[in-house]
């Protein structure tokens, strides 16, 4: 069974951050790109470093993922984290979770066609998860996770992106 998740906003937040709800949580990324590798960018994200590049076919050296893959990876990771947090808050046991995210983009926009939106036109998120909870409860957990995910909020509410988010049970034995 596939179940679609809506994009209605939610009022609940993790109690961990309620104490500082009146302040914005600071997030900083810095980077550098050198002329000898113009499509390669070295980024610093808090305690982590990541290399962003393009594939050779698009003029890069393929030394790291391109920004479009990083966006979809961020979406997958963010929704997975929120799924676990919401399940814990609602005392719902979740076993293994698998996610696939597909995005569709028309590269003409990226390369300057003013008639084509340069970002993703479609993003499809599909979860498979293991749980003994009933479908209604799992739907509520998935819906809350989707609504609270900052990355899904940015992408899922953009008027130029057709965003879908679905889940189904993972076909495995009980955990």
CA–CA distance, 74 with 120 (Å, rounded to integer): 14
* pLDDT score of 69 more than 80: yes
Question: pLDDT-derived band of residue 19, with 50, 70 and 90 as boundaries?
Answer: low
Report if pTM > 0.75: yes
Q: Would you say residue 20 lies in a domain?
A: yes
Look at residue 51 and tell me if it is in a domain: no
Say if residue 81's pLDDT is above 50: yes
Residue owning tokens 């290399």: 51
Percent of the residues in the chain that have a pLDDT greater than 70, as a whole number? 85
Q: Is residue 60 part of a domain?
A: no
Look at residue 122 and give its three-state secondary structure.
strand
In a domain, 90, yes or no: yes
Residue 172 pLDDT level (bands cut at 50, 70, 90): low
Confirm whether 48 is domain-assigned. Answer: no
Whole domain around residue 80: which residue ranges? 3-25+66-169
- Confirm if 64 and 40 have CB atoms less than 8 A apart: yes
Q: What is the mean pLDDT of residues 152-173?
A: 85
User: Distance between CA 56 and CA 6 in Å, rounded?
Assistant: 38
Give pLDDT tens digits for 20-66. Answer: 556 888 889 999 998 888 899 999 999 999 999 998 988 899 999 99
Enclosing H/E stretch for 36: none
Whether 95 is covered by a domain: the verdict is yes
CA–CA dist 60, 40 (Å, integer): 7
Closest CA to 139 of 87, 88, 66, 80: 87
103 three-state secondary structure: strand
Q: Considering the domain boundaries, does residue 40 fall inside one?
A: no
Domain count, the chain: 1
More confident residue, 152 or 156: 152
Q: How confident is the model at residue 171 (pLDDT cuts 50, 70, 90)?
A: confident
Residue 155 lies in a domain: yes
- Report the CATH number that the domain containing residue 147 is assigned in CATH: 3.30.300.20
Query: Which range (9-18, 22-31, 90-99) has the least confidence?
Result: 9-18
Ramachandran region of residue 154, left (φ > 0), alpha (ψ -120 to 50) or beta?
Answer: alpha
Nearest Cα to Cα of residue 51 among 70, 35, 69, 64: 64
Chain-centre distance for alpha carbon 162 = 14
């Amino acid at each position: 069974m596939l179940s679609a998740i809506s994009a209605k906003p939610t009022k609940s937040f993790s109690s961990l951050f309620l104490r500082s709800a009146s302040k914005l949580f600071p997030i900083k990324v810095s980077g550098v790109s050198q002329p000898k590798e113009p499509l390669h960018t070295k980024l610093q994200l808090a305690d982590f470093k990541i290399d962003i590049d393009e594939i050779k076919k698009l003029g890069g050296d393929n030394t790291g993922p391109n920004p479009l893959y990083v966006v979809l990876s961020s979406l997958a990771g963010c929704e997975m984290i929120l799924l676990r947090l919401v399940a814990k808050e609602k005392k719902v046991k979740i076993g293994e979770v698998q996610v696939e995210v597909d995005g569709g983009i028309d590269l003409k926009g990226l390369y300057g066609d003013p008639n084509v939106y340069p970002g993703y036109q479609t993003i499809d998120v599909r979860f498979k998860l293991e749980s003994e909870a009933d479908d209604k409860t799992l739907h509520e957990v998935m819906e809350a996770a989707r609504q609270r995910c900052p990355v899904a909020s940015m992408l899922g509410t953009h008027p130029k992106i057709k965003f879908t988010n679905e889940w189904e049970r993972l076909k495995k034995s009980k955990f």
